Structure 1
Amino acid sequence: MAPSHSPSTCLSDIPHGNLVLDPVVHFNGCLPAAKQRRFYESLPRDSQERISRVHTKILELRQRLETTHHDSSAGARLHEFNQAMSQWYAATGRRPRAPYASPAKPGSSSWGSQSERYPPRQEAEDSVDSHIKAPVIYFKNGLPCDVPGLSKTFPHQKTTVADLLSEDPARNPIMQQTDDDVIRYFHLPANNMAWAEGVIARYYHDRRPEPDGLLHKSRSRRPQSKTEMMLQPGYWQGQQNFDVDSEVHARHMRPFCASISVDPMAAEPTPKNAVLFMPYLHWETDRGRFRSAEIIKDVGKRSLNSISELVDRAKHQLAHTETQDTTSAPWVPHHTVTVSEGVMSRKQALGQLLRAAAALLEAMDSHVEEKLMMEYLHVEPPLHPRRTLDQAYYGALRNTGTRDRDQVVYRGTTPQPHECIGMEVCPQCNEDIRKTPRVIMVDQLWMWILDEKTIITSFPRRWGRNRPDPSAIHKSLRTRLQYARDGEISSAYDLALVIVDETSRVFFDRAKTNRSQPNLVELFTAAIRDLTYKQTAAFDQFLIYTHLAGRDYKRQRFVSSDNSSQNHLLNINPEGELLKEVKDIMDELHIMMRIKEQQQTVMETFVKHIRRALTPLARSRRPGTATQASAAWDIALGVASLDAGGDSPYTDDTARHREEHQCQTARRTLARADTLLLDLNERIAELRALVQNAQNTAAALKDLLTLKQQQAGVIEAREAVKQAQLTLKQGQSIMIFTLVTIVFLPLSFCASLFGMNAAELNDGHLPLSDELRLMFPISAGIIFLSLILAFSRGVFTNSGVALVRSAVSFMWNTAWTWLWVRSGGFVVGRELMVTANRLREREGKVTGGMKAEVLRREKNLERMRAAGHVKALTRQRGAVEGGVGRGMASPASEGIPGSPSPFLVVRGRFGEGDVELGERGRKPSSQIHLVPGR
């Protein structure tokens, strides 16, 4: 009875029939109203409860949308849908019904009636905190257990964020007391700093700190409460990496992990509390990314407080009120239909209705996220929105929409344009309909371990995912915990390792077969493989065109060829585009590598904290049972084994078994921590392999561009040779013209001369034979001499030219010398030269004597200074050794200026000595040398 594929009218793409795999989608989107009740009654009880919960959720959401403001996206889309419904009823002639009157809940007595209305709305729960669910998971003695007072069962129990922030212990599960063997886990589905502060404060039964209060107290005095100790600026606000002037998408916490002592009086040797901030990779649809960016932009505009903007906003709202136009949300355009006849046709009304319904569905999905942005985006402390891959790396960019749509994942999941032959027969179009463009996002994991038994995490979900999301991180985490083995979660550290592993293994878990989540590794591998194929094809094409260009050159087809091969060889645009794509891939891979390296740093610090906390428990202190494996473990942990012969400190078997259980549990946790680091190293190695492949492709493209550049040089050389050959041909042509000119010019001259009929030429009656006898010899001589001078490059021509130059030079030099000597100028110049030489010699002697006198005076002064220094040195040595005699210098050797003696005689206790003052005397006083006397 179960078909192998879904019906053509079914909204669900999951194959189903009587064996329903998605009963909610099939019930709401596939079945007509007449068959819904029969189908509902045939379902098991859990499927009926699912359908009932979804209907209740839809009714509550519709109830909120009926009273929501029109300046919100959902309110505007609801108003458009009501108008479209009215137009549809008018076009079909049906009777309008009350807006959004829905069938009764499945299974009720009023099935199919239109009279059930929504219950009165409770304004007390209008806050967004009351509409967002926070999952709650409990473990007791290593086994899952249900939380009392919450609906559903493990691990699908949830409470609202408003309950977690409540100060009522009966309402707030985090404030309730539990046994010591219970491990609790609470998750906040958004990186909201206000939520995190409030939940941590409720855990310690404190009030939430005021904005900037923690920073002020940390500067003025030491924190006193446990909440203030956990939220010290160094562990919380000080790790924020943004300021007031930064872009909204620049908000994030620095990768960080540390253990915290909450005792305000004394520091704990092994703190039981820890905090962890870690980025990780996830994904989002391009539509969701665009919607979130538009809403963030709109919320930023609404947060401005200038008077002019307030006035403009008031005018805008007044205009919408008067015209009943509620399309103030800029991210969804309002589509109006102009009908000239007054009544819209059925096709137009149906198209308008379907468009409005799709817009309303999208607005309903993102209604909660929109309210969350409006309430917490620009408060203190703020909400951290999700970031794309480029926003996480280029935080200073104002808009990254263009870069986001240039991601490898976006290009790999976007339908490519093709030549279609019709929607009904084109399989590519049918396949492209199911494609949804997606982009890579960088989310943050915030995690706190409180007292080693309570874990609080905070990371975002995908935009507008009010419906179940199989690719959600927490959905995967709940599935993993649901099928966990007994005793696998024995401590808060075991659960924390599972959480960190799930956030780190996104896109790298081969066991997941979710079709909505993009396969990151496969998409990048396919992109690099495609570029490598194109690079290989470009290289082959380069070789082909190089061969064609060489063949054309050999065949001397320069004039007749169209040079198409050379044009392809000189065009580097295709290779440049490929290189740009490779660079983009490498850039994205480097960003992801950076995220993974940050994860590695945080995980290594977290594992160190786990080792510090669990190493004492991992030591086996039971005497006589230390095996070789436990001894090796103790050595690996740096723990000395105890003597097997000591006395046993245990007398109770229960305590001994508890100790052994704690030891085994601690060792298993440490082993899982090591495995987590190894798995992360494998993921980093996989990304490095992709980077290496991209680098190899980039290097091959660079080599191809280098070859093209070299080939361009070869083509330029060939073109130069071609131009040289053309120039040679042109020179030969000019040479022919020159020869013709040389031959015919004398003949023409002679013919013109004899054609003048001059009287001197035999009265103009010279016979032709005489003219020819005169013309040809004269012309032959002139032609012969011209040819010799024009074309002869031998020794004869060079010698003739040298002879002419020498003759001219001889005549010029002889004439000039004769004139210079005969006029007396040579004698006068000679005498002036002799006088000048004498003056130059005299000048040298005078200036040399003056310089020698100055140098002699400087030497005398140096001698006097050296003599005084030696005297002082002799006196100082005599005083040190206690001698009575003091060094006396001869007056004749005091260094009188002009004294020819180059030595200074010094007499004293040390005997007689000479101080050399020649050329050495010009040295500084610290380098004076004492030499023995003669």
Structure 2
Amino acid sequence: MAFVWISPLCATSGTAITIDIIGVPAIGADPRKTWTSTGADRSSLFLGDALHEEIPSARILLYDHLKPEERQLEVKELSDPGHKATAKAFASVEEEIAQYGTEEWANRLLEAVRGERSSQKAEKTPILFVCHSTGGIIVKRAITKRVMEGVVDIGAECLGVAFFATPHRGSSVLSEPEYVQAVQKSLGLKWEMSEHLRQEFSLQNRDLEILDYRFGPAALGMKIWSLVETHDTQLEVLSTSDVGGESLTRVDLSLVDVRSAVLSTTDVPVEEEDVIRVSATHVGIPRFANDDKVRRRYLKDLASFVQHFSAQEREAHHQLASSIMNDIHIDVHQFYEFSQPGEQDKAPLKVWSESPTLRTFLEEGPAQCLGRRMRTQVEEPDKSVRPKSSMEIRRSTEPVAPTIVVAPPTELPEAIPPRDDGTSLSAPPPEKLANIHTRRPSLTPRYTTEPIASNGHLAPQAAPQPLKDDEYRDIDGVRRPQKPPTFQLPSMNRDRFRWIHVPYTHAGWVPLVLMTVSKERDNLNLHKKLLVDKIWMSQHNRSRHASPHARFVRPSCQGLFPKELSQSHSNMQRSHSSATSEVQLVLYLPYLHWDTFKHLNMRAEVIQKRRMQDHARPVDRAIASGNSMESKLIWQYLTSNRPIHCRRTLDQYGYPSLRDTSVRDGDQILYKRTRPPRPEKELYESPLEHITGILQANRFPAGQHASIGTNDDASKVLMVDQLWLWVVDQQTVVTFAAPKEKDDIDTPLELGDLRSNIYRDVNGDYARQCDDCFDFAALVVFHAVKALLDITDDDSLQVFRIFEEYISVLTEQQTKSFKEFRDNHRNTNSRNLDVHRLPKYVDNKKDLDALLELRDIEDELGSIGKLFKDQHRSITDMLKHYHEINAKYEQGLNGTELLKEIKETIDGYQEQLDAMLKSAQTAHKAFIDLLDMKQKQANVVEAHLTREQTEVAADQSRSVMIFTIFTIIFLPLSFFASVFGINAREWSGTDSNLSLRTIFVYMGTISLGFIIVALLAAFNRFTRRIMRYLWRIIAYPFSGCFGYGLSCILGCIVDFYIYRNARQKAHASRRLSTAAVLETDIV
């Protein structure tokens, strides 16, 4: 293997190299001829000058799968003396090459790439692979190779991959023997494809499917181009006919089908894949033969991608993806029988747990993870610390278990590999336990107990019977040393089932986790049946507004039964049959949970930031360096093809079609009832808020106000989370559920946490009986339904009690309002109505506040009721499947009883909710009646005020009329008196006085001017502004004390005059009834 050509243009032009573009041909094909048009020189090379014109800073390398000496091998002519030696060498190398599979070819590629980049000291230079045909499979294997310590991972430096007609899911032409020679001739292979290699490219190949699942997470953040051939390739094959004889026949076939050339599938979605159809054959597609338009478009797209690339952004994005894969832990719990000698028939179940990272789980599988921990405990038996499971956390108040010395068993497998029959750690179905194990296996000297029958719940403990002291004494009466008790590790013949829990509801991880289990069981159909469209993708809800809260899986429960059972029960409608002889179960269930208002706002802020950009790059530094794994997952997977399902509030669950529910979320009853009280100096907006504040203050101990402050760390909101559950087979249960983020305050994290509740139940001193996977699945549903509503440790999380208290407060407020309304109108009629007490008669602000609160309560109770209906429907369907499982397989017997109890629990919740809803509706109706009476009283007050206003207006009219009459009478008298009192020339006889004509001219002109200016100032806004500006200009020189004061006084007079005119004009145009309503403060 070697690079046969490296572009020298960067070195000659002096341009700094920013990216390495590596061309990988088909296995055995010539690296130059693959990318060069027929009959053209090197200038026509696709990965040559044409690419350098678009990306001048790229270094282009052409890779050859064969070593130089292998490529140069040729068989000399028969007449040549060296023919025999060359033929022998050629055949020897061909035989050696024939043993290679895609794994060996990938190792060769990795060795060549690392060697070349190391020699150029370019280990950190980004890489972009351009591969053709089978070379694409080699690139996928190289990228998914696990990195050794101290070696740079090329997958971390890979920006993208261009697949030219790559058979991701195999090819019949490449795998069938009749096309071997034709494929060799068409692709220009050095040797024919070996049988080993052809088997790896066969259709429905298990290794290719597993490679797709591994490449999916590795390709996160990469740009993928899938170029598909659209023309058939002409092949010459040797054919026979019924007549007899052999002949060469030309057939036109597509070497790689379109469905195989596209990387993304329903099971393994790829984030950024562009599918490009090229009008070319399989051989001509890497040269873009006869399709120059697509070629130019692809080059521009590639150049644009490289130019907008940022090494820092790529590094930050890769660190974020690595942090997610390495920091998220998957819980793997092995349930096995724990028995002491002589107690095989009474063996209780014990849990052996391990928490590998997501990357480790996907690479090794659950059995390898459990086996590694078991080997670790056996290899270190002298440790003084008892090995703890991943989830076993005791509080400081709980007793600490004594030290356990783990004794190595006589026969312990190196790992826990899958069995040949497709099962792992499995044993023949054990006999059903007579009772629930009421205690963990004792770690002190044993006591013998008698089994007590149970109905599937807690069983009473039998009285302990200590062993006789004589049993530990020899014949001389000397006390013998007792044998220390030992802890029994899991073994293959005592395995019952496994529980695999993934802590986040990310749809992209579902096929990866289920495929890991199927691969370990050596039956890939296990997860394929569970992920068919009708069971998985068609159950996903999406809204047109594309808000994350509208993304969820619809509640349902579906059973997949074996074909023979499906045929015998034809009356049961089932879309699919099970992939094995066992029953498979799928359940999607919403359940009630809680969160703090602080985390709700943080989640909304992260979602808002992430939705502002189309892709995860660039990564927000605060999120990447933060401790919130939920924020990292939202940033990484929010807009992916298989996105993460974020936690939803109660209103987001009840109204998924709403684009934004932030206002409704901030108005939740639980939030308003658990938020810290406001400071005493703050004024309350309404009497109802004052009452609520007093009640909240009583809920917090004295001195706590200072520690809480005004933040929302202690405030809580109702959430609706999702539970995804799959019973893959009789040995494996897989669950997905979103955890609650950790708090900085002293609130126990495990309150309402589904995972912790389940583990405490199955691993506690008093555990429910789970004989098989179906019993455990029912137990998971049991805890999901009761996750929040059965909490008694925290008063702020007793949801029903909080609703009942608040409804009682509002009902009391309603009674008080009725009494106040009655008292205000006891001795009041329309004649003695006190105007000063009018606001009390018709004030309805606090009643409207209470009415809105009741509306919120009814709305939230309705959403909770919808949740109960969804749960009841899903559990009813689940119970129907359990009845069939009980009858046919005698499994899930305890689970059936548990499901019946769950249904009764939900019915009890529903009755309690209906009672609260009825009380809220009764108070709601009462407030509406009260508001109606107050409105009627307001109408009475309005009529009374209208009558009074009418009387006042009549009196004013009479006064104006009298004044007008007197004015009309005395105006002529005063005018003539003034005229005859003028010292005019005509009256005085003095020539120096003005004449009457001159006096009248002055009087008329000046009066007319003042009248016009006054009218303009009164009725024209523009004139008023001009007068104000002129006054400021005139008053500016007099800015001294006297002048400034005088100007202020005159300005105030002018402003008051203007304001009074405006008020009179508005008052005159306003209806009297509206004024009356405003005076009485009706809201």
Q: TM-score normalized by structure 2?
A: 0.41
Q: Which of 1 and 2 has higher RCO (CA within 8 Å, sep 6+)?
A: 1
Which is higher, the Rg of structure 1 or of structure 2? 1
Q: TM-score normalized by structure 1?
A: 0.47
